[in-house]
Structures are given as C-alpha cells and as structure tokens.
C-alpha cells in the first residue's frame, strides 16, 4: 500500500496509487506537552532528599527552594497539563488520549516520554499503551460499519543500532532506508498482524521483554535504549461502493532512554558507553526540537544526525499529531536535570506539526472492485429476464408505431374525404350536401372512447353540436371553407406529430439495441485495459524505488549508468502514458454516451414548466421523455382539433369531451392546470407538475433498468477516472525524478571536467557571504549548537572560553564558526562510534575517546580549581555565594569549578562561566588570545582525521 502523505507506517509497498483528501496541507497544531512529577522513590527517601518542585495547578509547576536557600523568585513553567505525584496514570492518559485515538481516523500519532533516568518514563508509557489499546478495541467494537486491520512492529535503538524487538533472534542491526514517499523506512522490520486485543498485548509484552535493560545507581531496571512500538491501523467501510479507499495511520509509543550523568549513575564500561549514546541521541533530539521551536525559518533541521530523530522525523514537525509526556524526579538532588527537562518541554511546546488524514487506495482492491462491477454488468446483459423485458418493450413500441401509422393514414383519408366533399359542396346543387354536413359534424366529434361515458353530458354536447351543424348548414360556403382549412391545418399538425413520434420511437429502439452493444464493447475494452494495467502496475514502483536508491548514490559511475538506464526507462514511462491515454479515451466515450441521457433527462425533469414546443424541438428526446410523451392523447383522438393542446392535460381530463370553442377550451385548460397544480402542492411533490407535462411511462422496469445501467456505468467511470488521474500523477512524478537525475549527472560531469572530487564532500554546503542581519541570526544559532556540542563532547572549558570570547558575530567569524561546528559534529559522531573503546592514534594526532576526553576535562577543572587561589578571599566568597556553593563546605573550589560551563542552554550561565575561566587563566590580561591561534587546519575529509583547531595553543598558554 502506498500513501501520498509521507510518514505512513507500512514498510511494504504494493504499488498502489493513493490520495489524500482536502489538498496536501494538513491541519497545523502544536505538540501537546504534559509533565508528570513522580513521588520521591525509596532511594531518595532513604537519602533524606526532599521534594524540590511544586505543582501550582493543572498547568504550572515551579521550583520550590529549600528554606535555607537564598534564591530569587523562581520562574514558573507552564504546560498543557501538569500532573502532581499523586496523579494516576489513567489521568495522565486522559491528557494524551485524543492524540492516540487520532490514529483510528487515519491521522498519524506519536506519544513519547522524555525525562531523566529513573524519572518514570517506562512506568508511564506502559500504562499509556495499555489504556490506548483498551480504547482502540472499544472503538472497534463500537464501529461495526468499518473493518479494522492492526499491525504491530517494535524496535529499539541501542548504542545507535536499530534492533527488531519482534525478531531479536537474528541479532541483526536493521538499516534505515529513504523512501521518496514514506520518508525513513526500517528495512526488514517485522510487522505482525494482530488478531485481537489479547494478541496485541502479548506482542507488546514480547517487545518489552526483548528490550535492553541494565542496573545503574539510579535505577535497578534502567532502560538502556529508546523503544518504539508502532501500531499501524487501517480501516475500511464494510458495505460501500467506495470500499477501495481506506484510512491508514501509525500510532507510535516511544519510551526514550533517560538522559543521565555518568557521575550520578556511577556508570562505567558498557553502562558508560550506553549512557554516552543515549545522551548523544537525546542531544540531537533536543537540537531538533529547539530548531523546530524557533519556527520554519530556522534552516536545516538535523534529523539525520541520529537514528532516533530520523525515525521520528514525521512526528517532529511533520505529518502527525504528537504528545510528549516529560517525566520528572521531584528530588532536590536532580534539580538541574529536572530543569533541563522542563526547558526541553518548554521548547517542545512551540513545535508545530501538520497532520492530515491518510487515505489509501488499494490497487488490488480497486482492480477487484472493477472486476466485480464488470461481472455484474455482464451478468445483467446476459440475464434472460431483462433481455425478454427489453424485447417485450421493443415489441410494444413497434406496435405503438404501427398504431400511429394507422391513425395517420386514417387522418389522411379523412382529410381526403373532406376535400372531396368540399369539392362536391362547391358544386351548384347545394341540396345534395346534407350527408357531407352530417359527416363533417360527426367526424369532428366522434371519438371512440366517449361513446359510453357520461351520457347526459354527451347528449348535451350532441345537441349543441346539432345546433351548430344546423347553423353551419345555413352558412355560406365561405364559413365551411374556413372550418375545413382549420381542420386541415390540425390534421397536418397531427400528421407531423405522428411522424415525429415515429421517429423518436425508432430512435429509441435503435438506441436500446445499440446501447447494449456499445456498452458490451466498452466493457470488453475496459476489461482488456484493466488486465494491461495490472501487468504494468509494478513498473512505476520499480522505477521510483530505483530512482530513490540512485539519488542516494553519489558515485559518478553509478550516475552515469543511471543515464543509460533512464533512457531505457523512457520507453516504459511513454508506454504507461499511452496506456493511460487509451483508458482516458474509453472513459470519455462512456461519459459521452451514458451520462448524456441522464443529463437530458434531468434537464427535462428539472424544467417542468418547459413548453411543449421546447420539448418537441429536441432532436432525440431522452428515453424518459419519450416514454413520458402523452402518447395516449394523440393515439386516441388523432382527429380532435385540440389534440395539439390536449397533450398538456393530465388524466383528469383524459375522458372529457373535446371542446370546440377556443374560450371554452382555454378555460377548461386553466381549470385543469389549477387543479393539477393545487394537487401537486397538496402532495408536496415537486415533480407532480412535470407529470402533467410529460406523463411517465407505465414501463417502470424499463426506467429501473436504465437507471441501474447508468448508475453502474457512472460508478465505473468515476473509479476508473480517479485511478487514471492517480497514475498520471505518478508518471509526471517519474518524469520529474528523471529530470532531477539527469541534472545531477550533468553537474557531476561538469565537476569532473573541472577536476573536483565531490564524492566525499557532498554534505559541505558552500560558505556564502550572508547579509549582516542574516549572519547575526545564523551566528546565534551556530553558537548555541557549538555550546551544546562542547558539553556533549566534553570539550576543554578553556577552549570553550577562548572561542566564546573571541567570536562574537563579526562577518569574518563565519568561517571559524563553520569549522568549529564541523569539527564538533565530527567529534560527536566519532565519540558515538568508538564510545569508551580503546582509542586509536591517527597519525600524530592525540588519540580521542569519550573517557579520555572526560579525564582531560577533569584534569583541567582541577587545574582551574588551583588557579582560584589567584583570587582574593572576598572575591572567592562572593563567587561561592553567587554560584550557591556552601561557604563552609570542603572542596569548595572544585565544587565551584565543577559548576562552570554546565548548562549549555542558559546564556547567562555560559557568559559568566567564560568570564570566570578567562580570569583564572589570564586570557583577558595578557591579551595573548588571537583568532589566528585557531589556525584553520583544512584536511580533506577523505583523510578521516579530525580538524584540530586551537588545541595545541591552549596547552602552550597553560604550560600543561
Ligand atoms: N508516577 C510514579 N508513581 C510511582 N512509582 C513510579 C512512578 N514513576 C516511576 N515510578 C517508579 O520509579 C522507578 C523508575 O521508573 P522507570 O523505570 O519508569 O524510570 P525511567 O524514566 O524509565 O528510567 P530509565 O530511563 O532509567 O529507564 C520504577 O520503580 C517505577 O515503578
């Protein structure tokens, strides 16, 4: 299955076109951030620790200084929800429930727990997962109209390696792949289909049991890895024509490993190495959150710097709803860590996600659906009942035509008779005319269906007619002529009408015969096209995946090969386009033929007040109109002088006597119209007036059949149209990707020609001249990153001080900042790779490892502590007070020095630390600090050596 919106969970692709309704932009929403303060644990109680935080209300938490502390008014932290130590996990779940259940509606959702080690992340996430599972199954139970499919996968990131928690036997480390549509995909991650809630719970337990856990000084069962349990929830409406569309979304439960200080966890060996990896990836997470919190214009977001942020990319500022539960230890010994967690939470509040409903169109289901439709239509065509019914209909129409012909001939002969009689009358002996007069008078009034109805009325009418005839017999031949002319005219009209009706009926018959044939042909063609589409359906996917892989390769040889491959692909894409064009034509044909009748029908039906003449002027009236013509009227009383007008009357006047007088006629008509309209109003039936104009055919089945056929065809056309549009989009995308690749190759060739080797240099962005204002923003951003990296990599605090005081945002500092950032990024990665393993020397450069860096930093702090003697006692005491070092305590100097450069997120703290260190090592006085000492040692990255900047000079200054 494929979903257009990125970040959907499925790791398998079945080459399906997909859509996402309502455009491509999702709903913007801030991350939901809640904090949970746990109670003091046994260890903390035994150590007589005290609670240093207070939940002021449901939203605010504040530091509660110890009575003896002389601290300024503490700053309150505000969040979506704050849970006090007494809060139950159920209550905590209520704060994130809506986010979790979004996954049932096709919206990706992520809930993660962040916090210091032993602060209660695992405790909280277990409860949250359990409660979400309950709610999910409750929802499924209450939504019988939808069919749900749930899959689960579990992974952990341990020492920056991804492990499958549902298939841990293999001991494999899973690779992360980049999918152009779905973003980061975990290769070969097992996804189990869930049978029911019990099954789901047992699979979650397996994941938890497989997770890396170890004992530290702070937590007997400390989670040493980040765990992600992912549920993929897909749902489809059970009984609907639209069954090919489903919602699909992932719900991630993320239990992060806790940030920790080696000094507090007493970690060494494997634990220290784990802690290092944990801190590094959490550091990247913090950077990502910080950058996202600044807003969209904060530039590059380093998702790729850790596997955790890569996997969670869409939950951080992307297509997902996200909730973070920050867990806190209340103990005073962890105040700094807790404050850091609160700072993280504060930044996270500012991150905006843009979640949207993921709608999936399954290609398999679509083809199945189309096949079913085709089969249904074929069956309909084959059904003898329906065919018989059609034949019967056709026979009936032919009989009607026959009858009309007879009526027309009759009318014609009457006209001839009249002509003849008229000629006779015009002859001198008028006495021989009574027969003609009599005949004339009766020809006008004799209507077969009036014979046995309403005798009284009929007699009256005959008397009137008799009187009129008497009058006529005494009138001049001139009057008679006029009467005959009038009759002739009416007969002519009737003849025309009859001819038109014949024509219509003929067309209808032809239409029926042809219509079936046409539909059958189209269906056959569609079937063939579906078959063809199925045979080529994998092509686009293959092309896309290959392209994606190729894009990632930067080796020129591969790209050159790619050009050749692309040329061959050109024909595949062209073939696909041709296929689509063919399908489009078929659809157009169907649209032209079938829905046209519907349209005409609706036009007619929607215009009940259309005049009769208007409806007559249509060349081929719709089937319904043909059936609805007041056929009875002109069949039964072809000779009636009112026949032309009478077909606007409904059944109520069908059996009344024909009227001769114009005034009487129009009066009758208006009465009838009145009756009809009032009747319509009474019934509240909007279409009842149209019934008077175009009486519906008695053939209900015929209409039903037409309707069925049209509905089925329309439905087919709609599905296929959507499918074709999707395919077209994909083809366009392929073309675009192809162009991109070609550009890449051209660029590469140009570089080759210029003699550059960009192979190892692919992620070095060009250093550009920035505008001063922009540079200031970038500078601040980069400096913050550098400060955080110094902390993570345990860089010398003297180096930090020098660098911090030297580079204050001159345009000329640009290159130094860039180099320092690169050097530290390299160092961070290097430390993550080697961890605490024995360092290896590279050339003449000093060996680097995490433990050696920590040791070096420790020595440096001891050196600085000694240097404190250079200050007067008053100066020292003032510093101790300011930095909250007990005046009477032992080892005050080292305690004080250990507080410097500890909080990379606090700008004031960083500035003051730098000033103190500078003072202690005499950087300011001697003026022996220059930018040049940070000599830029550019080494080709391919040498794989660190970019050593300024380290030797520090040792020189300090004579270490
Ligand atoms: N809200 C709470 N109420 C009661 N006990 C709690 C609470 N939160 C945590 N605990 C207890 O504290 C201990 C540590 O919790 P937990 O293992 O969940 O911490 P953690 O943050 O996951 O730690 P780590 O990062 O080291 O894995 C556990 O024994 C747990 O039962």
Ligand 1 pocket member 329 (CB < 6 A) = no
Residue 296 is predicted with a pLDDT of 62
CA distance 307 to 284: 10
Q: What confidence tier does 292 reach under pLDDT thresholds 50, 70, 90? A: confident
CA distance 143 to 146: 6
Ligand 1 pocket member 863 (CB < 6 A) = no
Residue 853 is predicted with a pLDDT of 83
Q: Find the 292 Cα to ligand 1 centroid distance in Å.
A: 29
- Is 728 annotated for ligand binding? no
State the closest ligand 1 atom to the C-alpha of 113, by its place in the atom list counted from 1. Answer: 21
CA distance 285 to 306: 8
Tokens of 866: 């000694």
Ligand 1 pocket member 341 (CB < 6 A) = no
Q: Find the 64 Cα to ligand 1 centroid distance in Å.
A: 22
Choose the residue to mutate in 38, 114, 123, 258 for probing ligand 1, maximizing ligand atoms within 8 Å of C-beta: 123
Distances (CA, A) of 917 to 336, 820, 852, 853: 21, 20, 22, 19
State the closest ligand 1 atom to the C-alpha of 41, by its place in the atom list counted from 1. Answer: 12
Residue nearest atom 10 of ligand 1, based on CA coordinates: 120
Distances (CA, A) of 335 to 52, 78, 272: 7, 17, 22
Q: What angle do CA 931, 936, 941 make, to 5 degrees?
A: 155
| Average model confidence (pLDDT) across the chain | 68
Choose the residue to mutate in 85, 91, 120 for probing ligand 1, maximizing ligand atoms within 8 Å of C-beta: 120
29-327+344-361 homologous superfamily: Kinesin motor domain (3.40.850.10)
Name the percent of the chain lying above pLDDT 70: 51
The residues that bridge with 750 in the sheet, in sequence order, are none
Please check the confidence at residue 234 and state whether its pLDDT lies above 90: yes
Ligand 1 pocket member 946 (CB < 6 A) = no
Please check the confidence at residue 326 and state whether its pLDDT lies above 70: yes
Q: Does residue 322 contact residue 316 with C-beta atoms inside 8 Å? A: yes
Residue 813 is predicted with a pLDDT of 79
Residue 318 or residue 702, greater confidence: 318
Q: Find the 127 Cα to ligand 1 centroid distance in Å.
A: 12
Q: Does residue 525 contact residue 374 with C-beta atoms inside 8 Å? A: no
Please check the confidence at residue 6 and state whether its pLDDT lies above 60: no
Ligand 1 pocket member 121 (CB < 6 A) = yes
- Is 121 annotated for ligand binding? yes
Tokens of 750: 């140009």
Give the mean pLDDT of 829-849. 58
Please check the confidence at residue 572 and state whether its pLDDT lies above 90: no
- Is 120 annotated for ligand binding? yes
Q: Does residue 761 contact residue 942 with C-beta atoms inside 8 Å? A: no
Q: What confidence tier does 279 reach under pLDDT thresholds 50, 70, 90? A: confident
Q: What predicted TM-score, i.e. pTM, was given to this entire model?
A: 0.45
Please check the confidence at residue 578 and state whether its pLDDT lies above 80: no
Residue nearest atom 31 of ligand 1, based on CA coordinates: 123
Ligand 1 pocket member 41 (CB < 6 A) = yes
Q: Find the 135 Cα to ligand 1 centroid distance in Å.
A: 24
Look at residue 419 and give its three-state secondary structure.
helix
pLDDT in tens, 94-110: 999 999 999 999 999 99
Q: Find the 282 Cα to ligand 1 centroid distance in Å.
A: 18
Which H or E element spans position 512? helix 477-536
The residues that bridge with 60 in the sheet, in sequence order, are 78
Tokens of 92: 């905590």
Q: Find the 637 Cα to ligand 1 centroid distance in Å.
A: 96
CA distance 700 to 424: 51
Residue 603 or residue 278, greater confidence: 278
Ligand 1 pocket member 89 (CB < 6 A) = no
Q: Find the 338 Cα to ligand 1 centroid distance in Å.
A: 14
Q: 245-255 and 109-115: which strand pairing?
A: parallel
- Is 23 annotated for ligand binding? no
Tokens of 532: 């063809």
Q: Find the 167 Cα to ligand 1 centroid distance in Å.
A: 27
Q: Find the 732 Cα to ligand 1 centroid distance in Å.
A: 52
Residue nearest atom 11 of ligand 1, based on CA coordinates: 120
State the closest ligand 1 atom to the C-alpha of 213, by its place in the atom list counted from 1. Answer: 27
pLDDT in tens, 139-192: 999 999 899 999 999 999 988 889 999 987 656 788 899 887 778 899 889 999
Angle between helices 556-605 and 477-536 (to 10 degrees): 160
Ligand 1 pocket member 123 (CB < 6 A) = yes
Q: Return the minimum-mean-pLDDT range out of 249-258, 317-326, 419-428, 950-959.
A: 950-959
Residue nearest atom 14 of ligand 1, based on CA coordinates: 118
Q: Return the minimum-mean-pLDDT range out of 84-88, 655-659, 885-889.
A: 655-659
Ligand 1 pocket member 330 (CB < 6 A) = no
The residues that bridge with 249 in the sheet, in sequence order, are 233
Residue 944 is predicted with a pLDDT of 32
Residue 282 is predicted with a pLDDT of 87
Ligand 1 pocket member 257 (CB < 6 A) = yes
Residue 113 is predicted with a pLDDT of 96
Q: Where are the domains of the chain?
A: 29-327+344-361, 382-700, 772-958
Which position has the token pair 């003026």?
927
Ligand 1 pocket member 258 (CB < 6 A) = yes
Ligand 1 pocket member 369 (CB < 6 A) = no
Residue 837 is predicted with a pLDDT of 52
Q: Find the 204 Cα to ligand 1 centroid distance in Å.
A: 19
Residue nearest atom 15 of ligand 1, based on CA coordinates: 120
State the closest ligand 1 atom to the C-alpha of 221, by its place in the atom list counted from 1. Answer: 17
Tokens of 328: 């806190």
Max mean pLDDT among 312-326, 453-467, 663-677 falls in: 312-326
Q: Find the 919 Cα to ligand 1 centroid distance in Å.
A: 43
CA distance 6 to 183: 6
- Closest by Cα among 226, 419, 250, 417 to 306: 226
Which H or E element spans position 629? none
Residue 460 is predicted with a pLDDT of 43
Residue 77 is predicted with a pLDDT of 94
Q: Find the 327 Cα to ligand 1 centroid distance in Å.
A: 9
- DSSP class of residue 180? T
Choose the residue to mutate in 219, 266, 329 for probing ligand 1, maximizing ligand atoms within 8 Å of C-beta: 219
Q: Does residue 136 contact residue 104 with C-beta atoms inside 8 Å? A: yes
Which position has the token pair 């079945």?
14
Choose the residue to mutate in 43, 122, 213 for probing ligand 1, maximizing ligand atoms within 8 Å of C-beta: 122
Please check the confidence at residue 272 and state whether its pLDDT lies above 90: no
Q: Find the 152 Cα to ligand 1 centroid distance in Å.
A: 25
Residue 24 is predicted with a pLDDT of 47
CA distance 56 to 44: 22
- Closest by Cα among 100, 143, 517 to 324: 100
Q: 245-255 and 18-19: which strand pairing?
A: unpaired
Angle between helices 434-445 and 477-536 (to 10 degrees): 30
CA distance 608 to 677: 12
CA distance 255 to 111: 9
Q: What confidence tier does 711 reach under pLDDT thresholds 50, 70, 90? A: low
Ligand 1 pocket member 39 (CB < 6 A) = yes
**ipTM of the prediction:** 0.98
Burial (0-12, 13-18, 19+ Cβ within 10 Å), 556: middle
- Closest by Cα among 635, 544, 539 to 578: 539
Residue 728 is predicted with a pLDDT of 60
Please check the confidence at residue 722 and state whether its pLDDT lies above 50: yes
Look at residue 756 and give its three-state secondary structure.
coil
CA 431 to chain centre: 94
Q: What is the chain's Cα-based Rg?
A: 45
Q: Find the 326 Cα to ligand 1 centroid distance in Å.
A: 12
Give the mean pLDDT of 308-313. 92
Q: Find the 120 Cα to ligand 1 centroid distance in Å.
A: 3
Residue 10: phi, psi to the nearest 5? -55, 135
State the closest ligand 1 atom to the C-alpha of 257, by its place in the atom list counted from 1. Answer: 25
Give the mean pLDDT of 335-341. 91
């Amino acid at each position: 299955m494929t979903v257009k919106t990125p970040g959907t969970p499925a790791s398998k692709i079945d080459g399906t076109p997909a859509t996402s309704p309502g455009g491509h932009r999702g709903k913007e929403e801030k991350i939901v951030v809640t904090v949970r303060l746990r109670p003091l644990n046994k260890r903390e109680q035994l150590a007589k620790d005290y609670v240093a935080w207070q939940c002021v209300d449901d939203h605010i938490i504040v530091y509660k200084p110890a009575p003896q502390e002389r601290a300024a008014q503490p700053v309150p932290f505000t969040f979506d929800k704050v849970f006090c130590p007494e809060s139950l996990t159920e209550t905590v779940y209520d704060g994130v429930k809506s986010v979790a259940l979004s996954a049932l509606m096709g919206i990706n959702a992520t809930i993660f727990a962040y916090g210091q080690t032993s602060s209660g992340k695992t405790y909280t996430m277990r409860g949250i997962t359990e409660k979400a599972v309950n709610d999910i199954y409750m929802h499924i139970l209450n939504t019988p109209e939808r069919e749900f499919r749930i899959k689960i996968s579990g992974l952990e990131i341990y020492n920056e390696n991804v492990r499958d928690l549902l298939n841990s036997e293999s001991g494999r480390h899973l690779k992360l792949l980049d999918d152009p549509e779905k973003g980061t995909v975990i290769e070969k991650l097992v996804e189990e289909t869930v049978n029911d809630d019990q099954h789901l719970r047992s699979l979650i337990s397996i994941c938890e049991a497989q997770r890396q856990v170890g004992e530290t000084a702070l937590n007997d069962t400390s989670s040493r890895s980040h765990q992600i349990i992912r549920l993929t929830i897909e749902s489809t409406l059970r009984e609907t024509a639209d069954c090919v569309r489903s919602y699909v979304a992932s719900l991630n439960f993320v239990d992060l490993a806790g940030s920790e200080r080696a000094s507090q966890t007493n970690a060494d060996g494997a634990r220290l190495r784990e802690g290092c990896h944990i801190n590094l990836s959490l550091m990247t997470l913090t950077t990502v959150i910080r950058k996202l919190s600044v807003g969209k214009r904060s530039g590059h977001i380093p998702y790729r710097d850790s596997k955790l942020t890569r996997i969670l990319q869409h939950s951080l500022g992307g297509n997902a709803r996200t909730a973070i539960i920050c867990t806190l230890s209340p103990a005073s010994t962890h105040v700094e860590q807790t404050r850091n967690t609160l700072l993280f939470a504060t930044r996270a509040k500012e991150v905006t996600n843009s979640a949207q409903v993921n709608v999936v169109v399954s290609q398999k289901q679509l083809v199945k659906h189309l096949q079913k439709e085709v089969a249904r239509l074929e069956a309909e065509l084959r059904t003898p009942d329906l065919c018989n019914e059609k034949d019967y209909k056709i026979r009936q129409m032919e009989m009607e035509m026959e009858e009309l012909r007879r009526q027309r001939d009759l009318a014609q002969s009457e006209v001839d008779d009249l002509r003849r009689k008229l000629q006779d009358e015009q002859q001198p002996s008028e006495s021989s005319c009574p027969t003609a007069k009599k005949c004339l008078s009766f020809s006008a009034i004799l209507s077969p269906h009036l014979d046995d109805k309403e005798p009284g009325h009929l007699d009256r009418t005959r008397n009137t007619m008799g009187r009129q005839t008497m009058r006529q017999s005494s009138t001049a031949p001139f009057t008679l002529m006029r009467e005959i002319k009038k009759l002739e005219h009416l007969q002519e009209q009737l003849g025309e009408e009859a001819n038109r009706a014949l024509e219509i009926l003929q067309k209808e018959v032809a239409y029926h015969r042809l219509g079936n044939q046409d539909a059958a042909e189209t269906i056959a063609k569609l079937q063939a096209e579906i078959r063809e589409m199925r045979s080529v359906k994998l092509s686009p996917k293959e092309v896309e995946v290959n392209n994606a892989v190729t894009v990632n390769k930067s080796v020129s040889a591969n790209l050159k090969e790619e050009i050749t491959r692309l040329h061959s692909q050109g024909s595949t894409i062209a073939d696909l386009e041709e296929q689509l064009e063919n399908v489009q034509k078929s659809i157009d044909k169907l649209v032209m033929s079938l829905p046209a009748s519907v349209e005409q029908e609706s036009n007619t039906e929607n215009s009940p007040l259309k005049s009769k003449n208007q409806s007559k002027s249509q060349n081929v009236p719709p089937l319904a109109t043909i059936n609805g013509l007041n056929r009875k009227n002109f069949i039964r009383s072809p000779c009636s002088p009112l026949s032309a007008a009478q077909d606007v009357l409904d059944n109520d006047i069908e059996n009344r006597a024909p009227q001769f007088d114009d005034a009487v006629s129009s009066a009758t008509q208006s009465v009838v119209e009145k009756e009809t309209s009032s009747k319509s109003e009474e019934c509240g039936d909007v279409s009842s007036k149209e019934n008077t104009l175009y009486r519906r055919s008695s053939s209900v089945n015929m209409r039903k059949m037409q309707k069925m056929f049209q509905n089925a065809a329309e439905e087919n056309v709609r599905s296929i149209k959507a499918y074709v549009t999707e395919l077209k989009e994909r083809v366009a995308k392929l073309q675009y990707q192809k162009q991109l690749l070609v550009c890449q190759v051209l660029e590469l060739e140009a570089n080759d020609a210029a003699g550059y080797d960009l192979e190892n240099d692919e992620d070095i962005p060009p250093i550009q001249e920035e505008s001063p204002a922009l540079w200031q923003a970038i500078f601040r951003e980069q400096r913050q990153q550098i400060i955080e990296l110094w902390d993570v990599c345990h860089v010398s605090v003297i180096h930090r001080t020098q660098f911090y005081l030297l580079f204050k945002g001159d345009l000329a500092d640009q290159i130094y900042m860039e180099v320092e950032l690169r050097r530290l990024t390299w160092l961070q990665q290097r430390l993550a790779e080697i961890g605490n393993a024995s360092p290896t020397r590279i050339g003449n450069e000093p060996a680097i490892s995490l433990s050696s860096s920590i040791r070096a930093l420790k020595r440096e702090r001891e050196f600085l502590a000694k240097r404190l003697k250079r200050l007067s006692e008053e100066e020292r005491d003032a510093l101790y007070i300011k930095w909250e070092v007990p005046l009477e305590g032992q080892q005050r100097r080292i305690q004080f020095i250990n507080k410097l450069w500890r909080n990379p997120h606090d700008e004031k703290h960083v500035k003051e630390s730098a000033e103190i260190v500078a003072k202690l090592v005499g950087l300011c006085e001697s003026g022996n600090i220059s930018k040049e000492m940070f000599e830029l040692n550019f080494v080709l990255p391919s040498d794989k050596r660190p970019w050593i900047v300024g380290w030797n000079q520090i040792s020189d200054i300090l004579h270490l």
